[in-house]
A and B are shown apart, each in its own frame.
Chain A
Amino acid sequence: TQLLEQSPQFLSIQEGENLTVYCNSSSVFSSLQWYRQEPGEGPVLLVTVVTGGEVKKLKRLTFQFGDARKDSSLHITAAQPGDTGLYLCAGLLDSNYQLIWGAGTKLIIKP
């Protein structure tokens, strides 16, 4: 069974703080995606990382794919209340079109 473990499961911080969310696996992925899901909505794709060691930035969000393509992190700088949501990572294995999903990190940013 392939697992993608996300940590922490829950994080509540004050506006302006920095945070990092992790996504770890023993499997090697051909690509990995990060989604954000707001209450009452479906997940929305934020970024896809493909190359080991790749770093992508989306405004205050920085995504990194591990060198071995087994793990990824999402770092948010100066978090805003609008960043509140459920962050999901999902990896794609070379041998299969099916995404392997993490259980998500529920993030609350307090004003």
Chain B
Amino acid sequence: ETGVTQTPRHLVMGMTNKKSLKCEQHLGHNAMYWYKQSAKKPLELMFVYSLEERVENNSVPSRFSPECPNSSHLFLHLHTLQPEDSALYLCASSQDLSDTGELFFGEGSRLTVL
């Protein structure tokens, strides 16, 4: 496989459920990101990891919990979500944080919270 792979592609969960989104990159990149994409809104940066260390947490509610066990894998753990959290969650990677910022995205995980 090449590029950035996200699973699952679709997820429906109740507000009391606990689930996780997974992202894997095969590009040898050092930085990984979680973005939230809602219709007609700019992409919202949620978390940034560089060399497995979290460098950014943009005021994201604690019901979202990231995990980066190594430079190729990134998880987003979800618990007690709200309906307004329904969105497309995109994982991305870049060679480093300090480059031109060119991102390689996965296909996204479409989350619906009931």
A41: B residues at CB distance < 8 A:
107-108
Whole-angstrom distance between the Cβ of B69 and the nearest chain A Cβ: 22
Tell me the smallest distance from the CB of A101 to a CB of chain B, in Å: 4
Q: Are A42 and B92 in contact (CB under 8 A)?
A: yes
Query: A31–B105 contact, CB under 8 A?
Result: no
State whether the Cβ of B59 lies closer than 8 Å to any Cβ in chain A: no
Nearest opposing residue in chain A for B99, CB measure: A97
Q: Do residues B42 and A103 form an inter-chain contact, with CB atoms below 8 A?
A: yes
Contact with B along A75-111 (1 / 0, CB 8 A): 0000000000000101010000111111110000000
Task: Report the minimal beta-carbon distance from A23 to chain B, rounded to whole angstroms.
Answer: 11
Of the residues A40, A44, A101, contact of B43 by C-beta under 8 Å: A101
Say which residue of A40, A45, A104 sits within 8 Å of B102 (CB atoms). A45
User: What's the Cα separation between A101 and B40 when bound, in Å?
Assistant: 12
For the complex, is B66 an interface residue (Cβ under 8 Å from A)? no
Chain A hits for B104, CB < 8 A: 45
Interface size on A, residues (CB 8 A): 23
Count of chain B residues near A, Cβ 8 A: 22
Asked whether B13 is an interface residue with its Cβ less than 8 Å from the other chain, the reply is no
**Chain B nearest Cβ from A40, distance in angstroms:** 7
The answer, among B6, B40, B56, for a CB contact under 8 Å with A98, is B56
Chain B residues, CB < 8 A from A103:
40-42
Interface residues of A (CB under 8 A from B): 4, 9, 31, 33, 40-45, 48, 50, 88, 90, 92, 97-104
**A to B CB contacts below 8 Å, 20 in the list:** A9-B40, A33-B100, A41-B107, A41-B108, A43-B105, A44-B105, A45-B102, A45-B103, A45-B104, A48-B100, A90-B101, A92-B100, A98-B48, A98-B101, A99-B103, A100-B42, A101-B43, A102-B42, A103-B40, A104-B40
Can you name 20 extra interface pairs (CB under 8 A) apart from A99-B45, A99-B103, A102-B42? A4-B42, A31-B100, A33-B102, A42-B4, A42-B107, A43-B90, A43-B103, A43-B105, A44-B105, A45-B104, A48-B102, A88-B43, A90-B43, A92-B100, A97-B101, A98-B45, A98-B101, A99-B101, A104-B40, A104-B42
